[in-house]
Structure formats: structure tokens, C-alpha cells
Amino acid sequence: MVTDHFDVIIVGGGPVGMALAISLHERGISSLLLEAQGLPEQVKDPRPLALSYGSHLILQRLGVWSTLSQITPITTIHISNRDHFGRTVLTSKDAGVPTLGYVVNYYDLYRSMHQLLQIHSANYRVGATVTIIKTTPKQAQVEYQQAGENKQAIAKLLVLADGGRLATQIEGINYHTHKYHQWAIVANIQTSVPQNGIAYERFTSEGPIALLPSGDGFALVWTVPFATAEAILSLDDNTFLTQLHHHFGDRLGEFISTGKRSGFPLALTYASPTIALRIALVGNAAQTLHPVAGQGFNLGLRDAWELANEIVQSSALTSEIGSSRMLRTYANKRQIDRDAGKLFTHSLAKIFVSDLPLLQTFCGMGLNVLDCLPPLKRFVARRMIFGARG
């Protein structure tokens, strides 16, 4: 079997793995990206991604931003709690940034990155499924199958960006899972009140519902209990829109039309630790979050950005890429941001669904206090945009 050698092998060409591969390629680090699925035409995923202003800056530096076909700015976030008092409005002015973020489509982002990797002739292999990973103190080795052939590659560092499938093979890395018993239902929606840059995050006793400005309408992320998800997905369009309107309320007028609906089961899953001998985890492989507040990809992109910086720095200092020292520095730098992301989304997903009246009163007071205190708003908004370091 022929063996290829690289500085870095990345397993998993989702948006986080591709962002890392683009970053390493443009900075002259030899890397191989292995992605199990076929060409992106087959990766039809309707989910919207709310990207923070910080992610926009990273994607701009990677040359991805200008290739996206539809980008909808979020200028304001309106947060409310259904059937309870309390609301907060966050604006870009509160955060001191030109805009709070943008909504893009997952598939569009995937396709743009895929094309960029091809244009730059990066070592990017699709239809390549990694089956075995092995590490020694000196190197990491992967075996993968592509077009019916078994292949092998060796690198100083192996990055797992595979959503968390392979890390279970690694001794010392444990996964912790909290199932929410909820699904997210995603669809494009038109309402009689046109979108004007406001993202709505509404907490309900069944879970949060978000309507994000997208094109000339809204991208819906509706959290529903596991038991009712299938039934809601199979409703006819009119009944679905009526139920959605009833659930969300009248703020956006009539709910006029819906696109294709898709459902995603929700859980918090995270690895501990996120490094091992010659191995680093990024993106969903390190932590998969509840989509409330749209933090998952933003956090994963910061993983990729920080890891690329550590790799480039190690290479420039001629200290070794993938050494335990480099990996510890990477893990330490990411720790607070990751913990904050997990805590923030998990708390939002759990607290607002509680039926304890006292807790709901407390939540309502919290939203109102946040609304009245500009420095606190700025603190919260900047952490949502730039991560724990704000």
C-alpha cells in the first residue's frame, strides 16, 4: 500500500474541517483533507447558519466570504419568553459592531468552501472514508477507503473534524451526552410582515423557536418535543403554518408559505479531553451543542482558526507540529470559550422550558434587567459574537 506523508491530516470535510484545510493550505502547511461523502451536490442540508460578526471576519480572511451567494445581515436580535413577561432587544450598536451577524445557508457555505479547495488544488479527497486511526509518539497514521481501494497516510498531527465518530477509537477520550428529547425543525418561511434584519428568538415551554432573517423571508429553527416531531414534519403546509403561527404569535403577521421541512434530533455531546497523542479535535467532534443562539459552527470555526495559528506558529519556530506542548497550548486556549459555549446553550435550552413559576419569573426579570443595562448587553453580545474573550 502506498503511504502519503503530510504535516497534518484532517478527517472530516464539513465546514469546520474545510475551514482548517483552507487556512493551512494558504499558509503553506502540507495537509490532507479526507471527506467521506460525495460531491456537495449530494450534501443537501437546508439548515440555516447564523454566523457571528467574528465568524464573518474569519471567513473573510479565508477568502470564503466573497464566494457566498446569499448573505442576510442580522442587525437586531429580539428575545422574548412566550406566556411570560420579559424581553430583550440586542442591536449592533449595543455590541459596538457594524452588524451582529449574518444568516447563510449550510449547503451554500459547504459548496463555497469545497470549490475554494478545488480551485487552490489543495489535497482534498472526497468519497474517502477513514476506517482506522493509529498514533505513536512520533506520528499519526490513518487508513481510508476511496473508490474501492484501501489507502494509507501519515502525518505529524491528526485532526478529527468528523463530527465525533472516530474519536471513540482513541484511548483516553471520553464522550459525554445529554439528550434533550427534542428535535429542531428547519424550513424557509414567508410571513406577511417582511423581514427587516431582526432575528427573533422566542423561548417557550416546549423549547426555543428562532426566526432568522434570510433572503426576503425567514429561516425557521423550531424546537419541538421528540414525541411530536414526526407528526409536525408530516403536516400539510397549511396546517403546519397555522400551528407555527399559533406557537410563535402575531409579531410577524400571517405565516404565508413554507419550504421543505427537515428535522434534526438534538443533544449536547462533548469530548473530554479534546486532545490526545498526536490528535486534536475540532468543531462538532469536540462539542455538539443545542442550536439555540446559533453557537455551534461559530465555536467550531474558532477551534479551527486557533488550531491553524498554533500549527503555523509551531512550524515557524521549528518546534514540532503535533507535539504534546503544541496540543496543550491549543487545548488551554480553547477551554474557556468551549466551556462557556456549552454552559450558555445548555442553560438556555433547559432553564426556559422549566415549568417552575419562580424560575420563569426569574428568567423574565433577567431579560428585562439585560434590556435596561447597556454595559451588560454589550458584555453578552460581544461574547456571543467573538467567543468567551469578547
Ligand X SMILES: Cc1cc2nc3c(=O)[nH]c(=O)nc-3n(C[C@H](O)[C@H](O)[C@H](O)COP(=O)(O)OP(=O)(O)OC[C@H]3O[C@@H](n4cnc5c(N)ncnc54)[C@H](O)[C@@H]3O)c2cc1C
Residue 44 backbone phi and psi in degrees, to 5: -90, 100
Distance set, CA 287 to CA 9, 15, 281, 315 (Å): 20, 14, 9, 27
* Angle of the 357-372 helix axis to the 374-386 helix axis, nearest 10: 100
Options 107, 226, 264, 379; binder of ligand X; rule CB under 6 A: 264
Options 14, 40, 54, 207; binder of ligand X; rule CB under 6 A: 14
Smallest distance from ligand X to CB 266, Å: 7
Options 49, 220, 244, 348; binder of ligand X; rule CB under 6 A: 49
78 by Cβ neighbours in 10 Å (0-12 / 13-18 / 19+) ranks as middle
Closer by beta carbon to ligand X, 36 or else 275? 36
State the binding string over 113-152 for ligand X (x if CB under 6 A, else -).
Answer: ----------------xx----------------------
Instruction: Kindly state whether residue 47 participates in binding ligand X, applying the rule CB under 6 A.
Output: yes
Closer by beta carbon to ligand X, 15 or else 387? 15
Instruction: Kindly state whether residue 101 participates in binding ligand X, applying the rule CB under 6 A.
Output: no
Please say whether the dihedral angle defined by the alpha carbons of residues 36, 40, 41 and 43, taken in this order, is positive or negative.
positive
Instruction: Kindly state whether residue 12 participates in binding ligand X, applying the rule CB under 6 A.
Output: yes
Stretch that binds ligand X, among 24-32, 33-41, 119-127, 318-326 (CB under 6 A): 33-41
Closer by beta carbon to ligand X, 168 or else 239? 168
Instruction: Kindly state whether residue 295 participates in binding ligand X, applying the rule CB under 6 A.
Output: yes
State the binding string over 212-241 for ligand X (x if CB under 6 A, else -).
Answer: ---------x--------------------
Contacting positions for ligand X (CB under 6 A): 11-17, 34-37, 47-50, 129-130, 161-163, 165-166, 184, 186, 221, 264, 283-284, 291, 294-298, 300
